[in-house]
A = this chain, B = another copy of it.
Amino acid sequence: MFGVTILGNNSALPAYDRHPTAQLVTLNEQLFLIDCGEGTQMQISRYRIRHSKIGHIFISHLHGDHYFGLIGLITSMGLLGREHPLNLYGPAALIEIIELQLKVANTTLPFPLLFHPLENEGLILDHPKYSVSCFETKHRIPCWGFLISEKRNPRKIIREKVIEYGVPAAFYDFLKKGDDYISKSGDIVSNELVTIANLPDSSYAYCADTRYTESIAEKVMNANLLYHETTYLKDLEERAITRFHSTTIQAANFALKANAQKLLIGHFSSKYEKLDEFLQETKSVFHHTELAIEGVSYRID
C-alpha cells in the first residue's frame, strides 16, 4: 500500500473548513507527514490516524501555513508518552524555533527528536524498501519539494520456471535482485530464464509551493503521482508569478513536462469557495488530474 491522505488543502489562511497544508504518505507500515499547518493534530484525530506511527516529518519551508501545527503535534506526542524517535527534516532554522518553544515551556520531550537540516538537493533518507530525496522549488523563501520512492526489486520470479530449473526458495531474493543461480553441481541457471523485469520503482512527488519552473520537472520525472500547487485559477497568472505560486494551467503543463501518470492539485487560495473550476481548467490540459480533498486518500502505485 502506497498512498497519500490529504489533511489540509488550503493556502495561507484557513477558510471554508479547509485547512493549511498537511499530507500523510502511507508506505507499507510507514507514515510520513509532509508539512504540518496549524490544526494538523486535530485533523489527524478527525481522520482517526494514529500519530504514533509517524516516523518521519518533512517540512518544505517556513511559511506558517506549512509548519505552525508542528510544535503542537510534537508536544502532544510527548504528552502522550511517545518514546520512539521522530525524524524531522526541514530548513535549518526550524529546529531553533522548536527548541526555543520547548525551552520556555520547560519541556523535555520523552522521545529523541532527530533533526536533519535540508541543505542540498538529493537523497535524504535511504531504506532498503524506500527512499526520499529533496529538491529546491522557486518560492519567496527557500523551499523544498520531496520525492518519495518505493523501491522494487528489478526482477520478478516466474513461479513455474524456478520449479522447472530446481532453484531453491532460499535463493529467490537473490534472483529478484538479478543474480544467476549456480547449483551444487556447478550448473549455471541464467537469471533471465527464471525471472522477468519488474515494474520500475513507484514514486510520489510533492512539489511544495512554487512558481511555475520547468527545470524542476527533471527532478520528478515519471512520478506515479505528482502533487503540484494550484493557488490560483488561470486568469491570475500575473499574481501567481508575483507571489511565487502557480495556476491550474501551469500545474498541468508541469505535469506534462514531468511525464507524470497522475496529477493531484491543492493549496487553493482562500479567495475561492468552490473548487470545481480548478479541476476543469487543469483537466483541459492534463486529463489525469484530481483535486486534493481533505480526508481523502489517493493511491500512488
List residues of A whose CB falls within 8 A of some B CB: 12-15, 19, 38-39, 41-42, 45, 62-64, 68-69, 71-72, 75-76, 79-80, 91, 93-94, 96-97, 100-101, 104-106, 140-141
Provide a sorted-by-A list of 20 A–B residue pairs whose CB atoms are within 8 angstroms.
A12-B79, A13-B79, A13-B80, A14-B42, A38-B72, A39-B39, A39-B42, A62-B101, A62-B104, A64-B71, A64-B75, A64-B101, A68-B68, A68-B71, A68-B75, A93-B104, A94-B104, A97-B97, A97-B104, A106-B141
For residue A141, which residues in chain B have a CB less than 8 angstroms away from its CB?
104-106
For residue A91, which residues in chain B have a CB less than 8 angstroms away from its CB?
104
Min Cβ gap A49→B in Å is 14
* In the complex, residue of chain B having the shortest beta-carbon distance to the beta carbon of A62: B104
Assembly CA distance A253 to B122 (angstroms):
62
Asked whether, in the complex, the Cβ of B39 is within 8 Å of the Cβ of A105, the reply is: no
For residue A96, which residues in chain B have a CB less than 8 angstroms away from its CB?
100
Asked whether, in the complex, the Cβ of A69 is within 8 Å of the Cβ of B104, the reply is: no
Assembly CA distance A100 to B101 (angstroms):
11
Give the top 9 A-B pairs by smallest Cβ distance, nearest first.
A62-B104, A38-B72, A93-B104, A68-B72, A64-B75, A39-B39, A106-B141, A14-B42, A13-B76
